[in-house]
Structure 1
Amino acid sequence: MKPEKNLRILMVEDDKSVAEMMDMFIKKEGWTMDVATDGDQAVKMFAKNPDQYDLITLDLNLPKKDGIQVAKEVCAISPTIPIIMLTARSSEAEQILGLGVGADDYVSKPFSPLALIARIKALQRRIMIEDNQSKAISDKRDETFDVETQHMKISKKRREVLFDNKEVDYITPKEFNLLYTMAQKPKQVFSRGQLLESVWGYDYFGEERTVDAHIKKLRQKLEKVGANVIQTVWGVGYKFDDSQV
């Protein structure tokens, strides 16, 4: 991602009023925004020159191709492009589906333009921090692990997770960062707000479904190797604990 003042954003949105409203706020930040009004147009615009875009805001309910299919095709072209999904749909299953195909964040309509701007800035900061951290640990030996608990080993440089020496496959960047954050402090309870701030880089705005959806997908992947290590603390949040495995 470029510095904030130079961001070029592709907004995929069939609601003209929403696109026009966001265009005003985007311009106030000194950023540039292109608009695609349907799924086909979005994929064609992105495929023509993927490097020109720093971030995509993507409506889930689109004509011609829905947001899920657009996310799949866009991520096939550029797996690292940041995507924030915008949708009036709110079911957990739809959120999990969207996040599972490559979206980094999920914002429910109606939304505040200023809140979306804050999400974009937070996502940019998070990516820059992760890039800097990767560079800072590049001189570590390949066989080292950043976190080692009773049963789990995690390498941030290699994005590798081992449970009793069995590799956990297909963990997305956000799922990895959630696990890494909690595993650094086993048995500590993290609220959804703390996880949003630590992993996504913004304060808690009530979008707890974003955390819940990622946790659900992460659990499914961990449980394939027998790693039932993320516990729900009802009314509070989540914690990592592999002492009873």
Structure 2
Amino acid sequence: MPTILVADDDANIRELVCLFLHNDGFATAEASDGQEALDVHASQSIDLVVLDIMMPGIDGWALCRELRRRSAELPLLMLTARGETWEKVKGFELGADDYLTKPFDPLELTVRVRALLKRSRIGADKAVRIGGLALDRNTYKVTVGTESFTLPLKEFELLYTLAGTPGQVYTREQLIERIWGLDYGGDNRTVDVHIKRLRERFSDVGGFAIETVRGLGYRLEADE
């Protein structure tokens, strides 16, 4: 049973979120501030974190940054007080995987939690299949139908990241950090160049599309 850590300084919100998560079959842990959340994460196995931004002491921004530093794979769902684009962008840049704007529907939250857990399991696999495409990170081979070939390393990593978590939005900064590294000194528009190349390479392969999310970044959408 997955364990969800709910970090929010509002006890009523924690109680509501945990109630719906329990009803959906999840175990929960609670934290009333960022420091407590870090202590809980360090002391027990946590599969996903739901975190509020406005908390005393270590706020949600700092908590998100530290949790992402500790684990590149831990799904993070951020709760924002306002739906302004800059907040969403900042959350994604710090490592959040998804967000919800307060007030939120607890049923939507549980659906998003399930989707993030599913994506994280897919992302942990070495092989990713989407549409007519298969990516094998053990060999860095790309297979389309019966044809196998290799891509330039950065193109492979970029496509593997997007395909491993379909529907998830990544900012350019997130992609630079994950694929090129924190010490990369070039222009983050290099992501745009690589996205363009991938679109051109796989324009005839059905089942998925790399979409631009205006003001945020990119996501890969798979056909149903």
Q: What's the TM-score once normalised by structure 1's chain length? A: 0.61
> What amino acid is the match of 2:77?
I
For the pair 1:27 / 2:12, whether they are aligned, the reply is: no
User: Given that residues 47 and 74 in structure 1 are in contact (C-alpha distance below 8 angstroms), is that contact kept between their aligned partners in structure 2?
Assistant: no
Q: Distance in 2 between matches of 1:16 and 1:145?
A: 48
> What amino acid is the match of 1:123?
L
Q: Distance in 2 between matches of 1:199 and 1:128?
A: 14
Aligned to 2:139: 141
- 3-state SS of 1:84 partner: strand
> What is the aligned-residue identity percentage?
28
> What amino acid is the match of 1:126?
R
Gaps of 5+ in 2: 130-134, 145-149, 177-186, 197-209
Aligned to 2:67: 74
Q: What's the TM-score once normalised by structure 2's chain length? A: 0.66
Q: CA deviation at 1:78?
A: 2.0
From 65, 68, 85, the counterpart of 2:78: 85
For the pair 1:123 / 2:121, whether they are aligned, the reply is: no
Q: Distance in 2 between matches of 1:8 and 1:231?
A: 32
Aligned to 2:189: 223
- Give 1:1-245 correspondences, 5 Å limit: 6-49=1-44, 52-132=45-125, 134=127, 138=136, 141-142=139-140, 144-145=141-142, 160-162=153-155, 176-177=161-162, 198-200=166-168, 211=169, 214=170, 217=173, 223-224=189-190, 227=193, 229=196
- 3-state SS of 2:121 partner: helix
RMSD: 3.8
Change (3 A) 1:215 1:73: closer
Change (3 A) 1:43 1:172: farther
Change (3 A) 1:140 1:76: closer
> What amino acid is the match of 1:31?
F
State the Cα deviation string for residues 141-162 of structure 1 (Å, max 9, x = none): 34x3468xxxxx857xxxx424
- 3-state SS of 1:58 partner: strand
Q: CA deviation at 1:71?
A: 1.2
- 3-state SS of 1:161 partner: helix
**Count of residue pairs the alignment pairs up:** 184
Change (3 A) 1:233 1:91: closer
Gaps of 5+ in 1: 1-5, 148-152, 182-195, 201-210, 241-245
